[in-house]
């Protein structure tokens, strides 16, 4: 059945770019690139006549009239939003920032009198030439256009969308944000989030230098407040999910057969399509892949008509996922069922962003027993695709998981983060036994699963579609500039 036939996708401009971007972002292997090409990138993007130049002219001019060049300046709109983020890096903040920019740009294009001009600058992370070169031309054009949009300092809302260590003065080498410290701009906003139960004190101090701190969920409103961020500065600004791109009626499911390598279990001769669980994550402990394997392999065996597909990519250098899985299973206390292990496939090849909706659609359920998420983008993408999702009811996802639209996994408690920058913080331990129950229930009770999936899409469209999120941001910005008038 070709579901595309009756429905001409009526996609706003940002859709195409957003899709390419996300994959590029999520599944690009970030490689070190040679300096010459980096330099080229910097000279095409970073060193164009831009905001920094008007800023430095402003800073170095004598207090004479017209410190800012007049050319290109249009009286309308009055305000400017300068969004500074790792636009050229790929990675989580990069794709998030692009999703906001594309939503805001598309919204602006539809307005007769946009409330603000939009400008962007790269900040917060190394540029990645492969990432930039992998972007579609219209997206690069947009980046350059927005980058070259000039703003008056006193009419600019600067959004620093990055890890607070990059905020002025930065703890590592990056364009600082705000570009020349606090006080020159109309308003400065920090946009960040964390995956654990708290914000460390260095980050708290940095947040408190901002006029506003935007976080994506109520979980973060709480953890930031409890950690000492000034509650009058904190605002919840949710993240958009491109529900026109992630639309189950727009695409046909992908054929998973050629995509996954079988890591555990055997295919058998049965040609029926099994019930497919899909999980999408970066290979790191935080994502709870150990919990997922344990629950799935304890609940199911070879005789069950199910398969688990893992779309994963490397975190740091570890990328031999198949061996990791086999090693984990062999060194665990799990006993091989008499009829053999249930099937697990790993998809470790690049799935182009344009194919992601088709990948989700090939699954019957999405599962991610994560220990902590800022937002949980694959979860909301799966929900926009009307999949029933099973995901941990803790941290970012509590913003959108409900009993009606998903299968929230209860947690058994919190545990201490043992390594990395958040060592000593707490995150959640999802309950393996509850996950087993939910992974059984979604297979046994298809009508319920379908109903939850349908509700999931409704909720995603209603709350997180780009237009809705853009409107929310603009309302908030209007409020901000009024307050700071």
Report if residue 77 touches ligand NAG, rule: CB under 6 A.
no
**String marking each residue 153-172 x if it binds ligand NAG according to CB under 6 A:** -xx-----------------
Under the binding rule (CB under 6 A), the answer on residue 403 touching ligand NAG is yes
Q: Which is nearer to ligand NAG, 254 or 438 (CB)?
A: 438
Q: Determine how many CB atoms are found less than 10 A away from the CB of residue 309.
A: 21
Selected from 42, 48, 140, 152, the binder of ligand NAG by CB under 6 A is 152
Instruction: Determine if 478 is a binding residue for ligand NAG (CB under 6 A).
Output: no
User: In the numeric block, which tokens belong to residue 41?
Assistant: 């990138």
Q: Which is nearer to ligand NAG, 89 or 434 (CB)?
A: 434
CA dist 257 → 77, 234, 271, 277, 352 (Å): 53, 47, 11, 14, 16
- According to the binding rule CB under 6 A, does residue 408 interact with ligand NAG? yes
| Chosen residue from 334, 410, 426, 463 binding ligand NAG by CB under 6 A | 410
Under a CB-based contact definition with an 8 Å cutoff, are residues 484 and 211 in contact?
yes
Q: Which stretch binds ligand NAG (CB under 6 A): 134-142, 150-158, 192-200, 295-303?
A: 150-158
398 sits near ligand NAG (criterion: CB under 6 A): yes
Of the listed pieces 8-16, 152-160, 349-357, 458-466, which binds ligand NAG according to CB under 6 A? Answer: 152-160
Which of these ranges, 132-140, 151-159, 307-315, 441-449, lies near ligand NAG under the rule CB under 6 A? 151-159
d(CA 477, CA 485): 12
The residue among 151, 193, 359, 342 whose CA lies nearest residue 263 is 342
Determine the distance from the C-alpha atom of residue 357 to the mean position of all C-alpha atoms in its chain, rounded to a whole number.
16
Angle CA 43–45–48, to nearest 5 = 70
- Site residue total, ligand NAG (CB under 6 A): 8
Token output for 145: 């256009």
Spatial contact of 325 and 265, defined as CB atoms under 8 Å apart: no
What mask, x for binding ligand NAG by CB under 6 A, covers residues 347 to 386? ----------------------------------------
Quick check: 393 binds ligand NAG (CB under 6 A)?
Answer: yes
Candidates 33-41, 147-155, 269-277, 344-352; binding stretch for ligand NAG (CB under 6 A): 147-155
228's torsion region: left (phi>0), alpha (psi -120 to 50) or beta?
left
* Shortest reach from residue 155's CB to ligand NAG, in Å: 5
Q: How far is the CB of 121 from ligand NAG (least distance, A)?
A: 20
Q: Is 184 in the site for ligand NAG (CB under 6 A)?
A: no
Is residue 426 a contact partner of residue 194, using CB atoms and an 8 Å limit? no
Do the Cβ atoms of 244 and 15 come closer than 8 Å? yes
* Residue 442: CB minimum distance to ligand NAG, A: 15
Minimum distance of ligand NAG from residue 154's CB (angstroms) = 4
- In angstroms, how far is the first alpha carbon of the chain from the final one? 57
Buried b / exposed e across 170-205, counting CB within 10 Å, b at 16+? Answer: beeebebbbbeeeebbbbbbbbbbbbbbbbbeebbe
Contact positions vs ligand NAG (CB under 6 A): 152, 154-155, 393, 398, 403, 408, 410
């Amino acid at each position: 059945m070709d579901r595309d036939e009756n429905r001409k996708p009526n996609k706003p401009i940002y859709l195409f770019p957003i899709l390419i971007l996300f994959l590029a972002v999520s599944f690009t292997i970030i490689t070190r690139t040679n300096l010459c090409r980096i330099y080229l990138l910097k000279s095409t993007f970073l060193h164009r006549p831009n905001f920094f130049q008007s800023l430095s002219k402003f800073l170095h001019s004598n207090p004479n009239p017209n410190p800012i060049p007049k050319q290109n300046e249009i009286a309308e709109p009055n305000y400017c939003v300068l969004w500074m983020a790792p636009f050229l890096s790929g990675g989580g903040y990069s794709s998030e920032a692009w999703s906001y920019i594309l939503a805001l740009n598309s919204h602006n294009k539809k307005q007769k009198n946009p409330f603000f001009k939009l400008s962007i600058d790269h900040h917060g992370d190394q540029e990645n030439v492969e990432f930039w070169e992998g972007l579609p031309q219209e997206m690069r054009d947009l980046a350059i256009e927005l980058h070259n949009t000039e703003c008056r300092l006193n009419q600019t809302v600067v959004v620093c969308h990055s890890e607070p260590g990059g905020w002025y003065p930065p703890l590592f080498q990056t364009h600082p944000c705000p570009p020349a410290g606090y006080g020159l701009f109309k308003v400065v906003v920090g946009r960040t989030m964390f995956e654990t139960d708290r914000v460390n004190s260095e980050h708290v101090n940095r947040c408190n230098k901002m006029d506003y701190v935007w976080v994506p969920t109520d979980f973060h409103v709480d953890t930031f407040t409890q950690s000492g961020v000034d509650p009058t500065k904190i605002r919840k600004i949710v993240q958009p999910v491109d529900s026109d791109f992630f639309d189950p009626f727009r695409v046909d499911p992908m054929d998973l057969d050629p995509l996954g390598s079988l890591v555990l279990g055997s295919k058998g001769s049965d040609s029926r399509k099994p019930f497919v669980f899909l999980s999408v994550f970066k290979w790191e402990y935080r994502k709870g892949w150990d919990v997922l394997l344990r629950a799935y392999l304890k609940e199911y065996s070879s005789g069950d008509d199910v398969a688990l597909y893992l779309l994963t990519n490397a975190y740091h250098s570890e990328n031999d996922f198949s061996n990791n899985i086999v090693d984990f299973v062999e060194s665990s206390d799990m006993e091989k069922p008499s009829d053999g292990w249930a099937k697990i496939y790993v998809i470790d090849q690049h799935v182009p962003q344009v194919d992601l909706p088709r990948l989700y659609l090939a699954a019957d359920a999405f599962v991610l027993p994560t220990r902590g998420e800022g937002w949980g983008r694959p979860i909301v993408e799966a929900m926009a695709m009307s999949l029933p999702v099973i995901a941990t009811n803790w941290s970012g996802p509590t913003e959108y998981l409900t009993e009606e639209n998903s299968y929230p996994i209860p947690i058994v408690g919190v545990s201490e983060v043992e390594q990395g920058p958040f060592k000593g913080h707490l995150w959640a331990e999802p309950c393996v036994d509850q996950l087993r129950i939910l992974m059984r229930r979604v297979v046994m009770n298809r009508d319920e699963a379908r109903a939850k999936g349908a509700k999931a899409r409704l909720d995603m469209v209603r709350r997180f579609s780009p237009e809705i999120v853009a409107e929310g941001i603009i309302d908030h910005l209007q409020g901000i500039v009024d307050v700071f008038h």
